[in-house]
Chain A
Amino acid sequence: MKRREFLKLSAASVGALMLAPEGQALKLPNPLARAPRAWYEGEVSTVLTYCENCFWKCGVRASVADGRVWKVDGYEANPKSRGRLCPRGQGAVAQTYDPDRLKRPLIRVEGTARGDGKYREASWDEALSVIASGMLAIKERYGSESMAFFAHGSGDTWFGDYLPAAWATPNVGKPSVSLCTGPRETAAQWTFGRGIGGHEPIDWENTDYMVLIGHHIGEDTHNTQLQDFSLALKRGAKLVVVDPRFSVAASKADRWMPIRPGTDTALLLAWLHVLITEELYDKAYVERYTIGIDKLTEHVQPYTPEWAAPITDLDPDAIRAVARELAAHAPRAVLPPGRHTVWYGNDTQRMRAVYLINALLGNYGVEGGFYLAQPPYIEKYPHPAFPLEPASGGCSGASGAAAETIETGYRDAVDHGTFFAKTTAVQELIPAMITGEPYRIAGLVAYGVNLFHSIPDVERTKEALKKLDLYVAIDVLPMDHVMWADVILPEATYLERYDDLVEIAHKTPFIELRQPAVAPMWDTKPGWWIARELGHKLGLQEYFDWPDIETYLDKRLASIGSSLEQAKKVGTLVQRGRPYLTDWEQRNLDPFGTPSGKIELYSQTFADAGFDPMPTFEPPEEGPVGSYRLLYGRTPVHTFAKTQNNWVLMEMHGDNAVWIHPAEAKAQGLANGDYVWLENQDGVRDGPVAVFATERLRRDCVYLVHGFGHRAPDMKVANGRGASDTALMSRYRLDPISGGAGLRVNFVKLVPGAPRPRLPRLTRLAERSV
């Protein structure tokens, strides 16, 4: 056979490789016989960026050699990490090199249904053209407002704010608002006139007494928050934990108060009662900085510890004792707001009660209490004014924005009018996809949001997806909901991309830069690039006039006298803040953005809107006989449902178990390690999941770690491990003030006889090969 007998295939010469100029090849006897070397023996470069494996946004140093990130460490000069990093941060590298990652744009095969999971590859140009064409058709038929955007993560700047505002839709939802922080932000806005923000402004280093209410520090882990909390304990600060579960924080506490679920507001009212009736509150502070103490005094008269005791199932003497101890340590005593505050549907009022106690302790804007966090100064990119301003709020945004209607010329969000706050509620945008009321949502772009593991009533979400004209998913992994999309766009991981600058409101406000440590793998693209290219195809060039992200970032950084070049070198740009009231008073500034300009113990705004101007207790509804209230929480090695395909983290925590009190387990003939189904009040079943019988939980509830129970067969590690708490949340109770979805209103029973899942060992999955 001669060489000429073989034809040249055109597909074989597309060009994965380039020949170096002649003479560059090494003339070794056998160039492939050299001994391999370890990565750290070569040239290792360090890239400063910030982490994405939870949303604390720790500054990190990525060690790069041979075009690969090998290690990620905390960055000493960054206030979010101070040189330390949690397991999720250190394990993040495994996500970038996850073989299950989305690799190139995919388009659902014609003739298949959403959820069938049949796709073909597409070029970026084709995929974005399909999306643009679908969006423009929706705009033509229904108006631009009929496109919705759901977004979560650092890149939500592009898909939760920038692009939707340029496109002109108010229907933008972020789970970080109505499924997480909404109530605490709304309550803070209408109590203090300032939000809490993504970095909870607790002055841990100066506090002497801490009361955590359903706040799982140590499980819901945020790097420096945990560092500061631990240092406070080490320094001798007292800790009280109010929780139906003996959490990790409770295990460190001086006092654990195993409260009956759903009765926290009764306890808070009793504390207010003791502080006021025993005149233990800081009268000078209250006089100077608050309004409404007279009305509050009258309001809390009935709420004695003895009144609260049978409601909360707590000892009245213990209730009274904690109130007195709080007062004794004031103002260096604090009740920090938790992060996930959507519990029972009356959550804004509960958070108001938390803040009122803090105000009576005189700790807001005072050492040892809350410091006054300020965002850093930096200008936005000077694009033309958007047709609509971003309105979804955010974990670190002004979620409690005013409820007034602003005339924009566009229809208001479809959830407007269903609750008080002006922000959107992601779960409230879904019904309009099904009913078309008040008008139809016909298209959805989901960026980094796991629709099936964050939004309650999963079946409703699936029904809504089926009715859309266009459904686009942008993600890193083929998550459960992603494989329902018409077009799937694979995003580069945080180690491979730039994002917009992050502005952290803090005691010392700072700006963080995300920059790529390595080039994007496969045919993945950064969010900014996707948004920009799509923007151009949608005719929105005027808002995306920056040629590349470097230009965009450099322009913004120039507004503070810096540059991208400098930011790349230092990673974090720290500014000076005004953390205490005294700092404001020296400048004759008022920090309180409330209508009265003071801390509002009594909210006239709420009264005018038909809500209780001061917190009241609403008993939680009870579940069916024989069922348990479903509680849920976090593990320090996972973030929501985002990290369960990361084998490094899964080796540490590979599935969840249902916690139940041993007496309850025994009564049902269940033992540790047995497998059960969980079935909720509406007959929704999930699992199988192992039983964990433990006295660390009250008898009237069960507990699951959130984020497990993926039904995502494309994610080989995550799929089928544990049970999903979200799947069992077929109900929620809307907070009429914040729009938060109270999620702790679901009840489950344990159904014995479930088979032990036959799953591949994680160690085998970590070693992926054919």
Chain B
Amino acid sequence: MEVLDPLDPLGPQGPVFGHRSADALAAACQIVAALYRSPGEGLRDDLESGRLRAVSDALARFAGLDAPRGPHAPPSFETLRTVYVSLFVSRAGGVPAPPYVGLVRDRQLMGPSVTRLRSDLEALGLRISPEWRELPDHLAAVAEGVELLLERGRVGAGVALAANYLSPWFARYADAVAEADASGFYGEMSRFLRSVLKEVAPRA
């Protein structure tokens, strides 16, 4: 294990984290950010170009896991869009996996955790883009924040963000997605990411 990034020291009590794990965490968060945001041309491109497959395979190799089959033979993009709505936006019986940190932490939308997340992001030099048509505590936004920080070499900050806002609930969340996903794609990817994050994302 390598020592934490000196630019963002977490203090003596903070998690110790290595650059290789940080790279893997960044990659995992890239996939989280890509998968859980509203499917658009970016995801279509990632699927058709094989980029999603390549990143997933690389992560699987790193973590010693079986590579997920989904990116190799994904459902049609139109199917994914429909499945996405039923999992995360609107569905009979209620949305099975609402992708919001605050719902897990506070059991309400836009509660104290969102206030805190916003303030924490600001402290880390990040702001929610005005173009973001989702809630600030959306899973994809948090993952993007982690990835962005790690990408810029601010390992401690990225790790801390993940440890506070991603790791504590993602495993449970991934199970909920997997149970509700009729297509298999999101379910398989969620469980794969759960396993990866278990390896590379420390808990607060």
Residues of A within 8 A of B (CB): 1-3, 5-20, 22, 24-26, 28-34, 36, 38-39, 42, 65-68, 97-100, 102-104, 106, 109, 117-121, 478, 483, 521-523, 713-716, 719, 766-770
In the bound complex, CA of A110 to CA of B92 (Å)? 18
> Are A6 and B26 in contact (CB-based, < 8 A)?
yes
Once A1-B23, A522-B133, A770-B96 are accepted as A-B contacts, the answer to whether A68 and B144 lie under 8 Å apart by CB is: no
Can you add 11 more A-B contacts, CB < 8 Å, to A9-B33, A25-B123, A768-B107? Answer: A6-B23, A6-B30, A9-B42, A9-B51, A17-B129, A18-B129, A19-B125, A36-B115, A118-B86, A483-B90, A521-B110
> Are B78 and A6 in contact (CB-based, < 8 A)?
no
In the bound complex, CA of A30 to CA of B4 (Å)? 13
Closest residue on chain B to residue A10 by CB atoms: B42
> Are B161 and A32 in contact (CB-based, < 8 A)?
yes
Once A20-B127, A106-B85, A522-B135 are accepted as A-B contacts, the answer to whether A478 and B45 lie under 8 Å apart by CB is: no
Once A24-B125, A29-B10 are accepted as A-B contacts, the answer to whether A766 and B107 lie under 8 Å apart by CB is: yes
> Are B112 and A36 in contact (CB-based, < 8 A)?
yes
Closest residue on chain A to residue B122 by CB atoms: A20
> Are B31 and A121 in contact (CB-based, < 8 A)?
no
Give the chain A neighbours of B140 by CB distance below 8 A.
16
In the bound complex, CA of A33 to CA of B123 (Å)? 11
A384 to chain B, nearest CB (A): 34
Once A16-B33, A30-B10, A770-B98 are accepted as A-B contacts, the answer to whether A7 and B135 lie under 8 Å apart by CB is: no
Give the chain A neighbours of B125 by CB distance below 8 A.
19-20, 22, 24-25
Closest residue on chain B to residue A768 by CB atoms: B103
In the bound complex, CA of A22 to CA of B125 (Å)? 8
> Are B23 and A2 in contact (CB-based, < 8 A)?
yes
Give the chain B neighbours of A14 by CB distance below 8 A.
37, 40, 42
> Are A121 and B46 in contact (CB-based, < 8 A)?
no
> Are B141 and A17 in contact (CB-based, < 8 A)?
yes
Quick check: is B126 within 8 A (CB to CB) of the other chain?
Answer: yes
> Are B129 and A68 in contact (CB-based, < 8 A)?
no
> Are A29 and B144 in contact (CB-based, < 8 A)?
no
A39 to chain B, nearest CB (A): 7
Among the interface residues B46, B97, B143, which one has the most CB atoms of the partner chain A within 10 A? B46
Quick check: is B16 within 8 A (CB to CB) of the other chain?
Answer: no
Closest residue on chain A to residue B43 by CB atoms: A11
Once A97-B110, A714-B91 are accepted as A-B contacts, the answer to whether A17 and B145 lie under 8 Å apart by CB is: yes
Once A32-B164, A770-B173 are accepted as A-B contacts, the answer to whether A17 and B115 lie under 8 Å apart by CB is: no
Enumerate B8-41 residues with CB–CB distance to A below 8 Å: 9-11, 13-14, 20, 23-24, 26-27, 29-31, 33-35, 37-40
In the bound complex, CA of A66 to CA of B78 (Å)? 37
Give the chain B neighbours of A768 by CB distance below 8 A.
94, 98, 103, 107-109
> Are A28 and B91 in contact (CB-based, < 8 A)?
no
A-B contact pairs, 25 of them (CB 8 A): A1-B20, A8-B30, A9-B34, A9-B55, A10-B51, A11-B43, A12-B33, A14-B42, A16-B145, A17-B144, A19-B125, A20-B127, A25-B124, A32-B160, A42-B115, A68-B114, A68-B115, A99-B94, A100-B90, A104-B89, A483-B90, A714-B92, A714-B94, A768-B98, A769-B107
Once A11-B33, A25-B123 are accepted as A-B contacts, the answer to whether A99 and B103 lie under 8 Å apart by CB is: yes
**How many of chain B's residues have a CB under 8 angstroms from any CB in A?**
94
A338 to chain B, nearest CB (A): 37
> Are B31 and A31 in contact (CB-based, < 8 A)?
no
Quick check: is B128 within 8 A (CB to CB) of the other chain?
Answer: yes
Once A6-B26, A9-B52, A15-B129 are accepted as A-B contacts, the answer to whether A30 and B62 lie under 8 Å apart by CB is: no
A77 to chain B, nearest CB (A): 29
In the bound complex, CA of A179 to CA of B113 (Å)? 44
In the bound complex, CA of A507 to CA of B78 (Å)? 58
Give the chain B neighbours of A117 by CB distance below 8 A.
92
Quick check: is B181 within 8 A (CB to CB) of the other chain?
Answer: no
Closest residue on chain A to residue B22 by CB atoms: A3
Give the chain A neighbours of B198 by CB distance below 8 A.
none
Give the chain B neighbours of A12 by CB distance below 8 A.
29-31, 33-34, 42, 143-144, 147
> Are B90 and A714 in contact (CB-based, < 8 A)?
yes
Among the interface residues B13, B46, B91, which one has the most CB atoms of the partner chain A within 10 A? B91
Closest residue on chain A to residue B51 by CB atoms: A7
A374 to chain B, nearest CB (A): 41
Contact of B124 among A22, A31, A100, A716 (CB under 8 A): A31
A131 to chain B, nearest CB (A): 18
In the bound complex, CA of A102 to CA of B62 (Å)? 40
B6 to chain A, nearest CB (A): 12
Once A3-B23, A12-B31 are accepted as A-B contacts, the answer to whether A99 and B115 lie under 8 Å apart by CB is: no
Closest residue on chain A to residue B107 by CB atoms: A767
Contact of B128 among A16, A104, A109, A121 (CB under 8 A): A16
Contact of B127 among A18, A98, A103 (CB under 8 A): A18
In the bound complex, CA of A76 to CA of B25 (Å)? 54
> Are A31 and B98 in contact (CB-based, < 8 A)?
no
Once A3-B23, A11-B34, A11-B40 are accepted as A-B contacts, the answer to whether A17 and B148 lie under 8 Å apart by CB is: yes
A19 to chain B, nearest CB (A): 6
> Are A10 and B45 in contact (CB-based, < 8 A)?
yes
